[in-house]
Amino acid sequence: MEKKRKTLLLLLLMAATLFCMPIVSCAVSSVNIQGHLTHSELVKGPNRRLLPFVDCGARCRVRCSLHSRPKICSRACGTCCFRCRCVPPGTYGNREMCGKCYTDMITHGNKPKCP
């Protein structure tokens, strides 16, 4: 009886570990994209809330550094970064790297919001 109880407890513990492991591994993974090391920035869906702090100000300054209207670009980029917790690498393009949240956000005029 005791051996059966220990086996059941061990099996339950292993099942709980396997159930929780994908969430944890998504939260702490590192991805190297075009020379930029990002920590879990590409996690999409409900795991997005598990992302660490993203320095939106510094990343948006880099993103908008070559823009013709850097203040407007920085304001839009800051909003997108706050909502999606991601800023694409480089000064232009690569928007799909931040996922659907970043690419599908539009202005009142139905133009892409995020730079």
In tens digits, the chain (115 residues) has pLDDT values of: 677 776 766 666 666 655 554 443 333 334 444 444 444 444 455 555 555 678 999 999 999 999 999 999 999 999 999 999 999 999 999 999 999 999 999 999 999 999 9
pTM, two decimal places: 0.55
Tell me how far apart the alpha carbons of residues 77 and 57 are, in angstroms, rounded to a whole number: 9
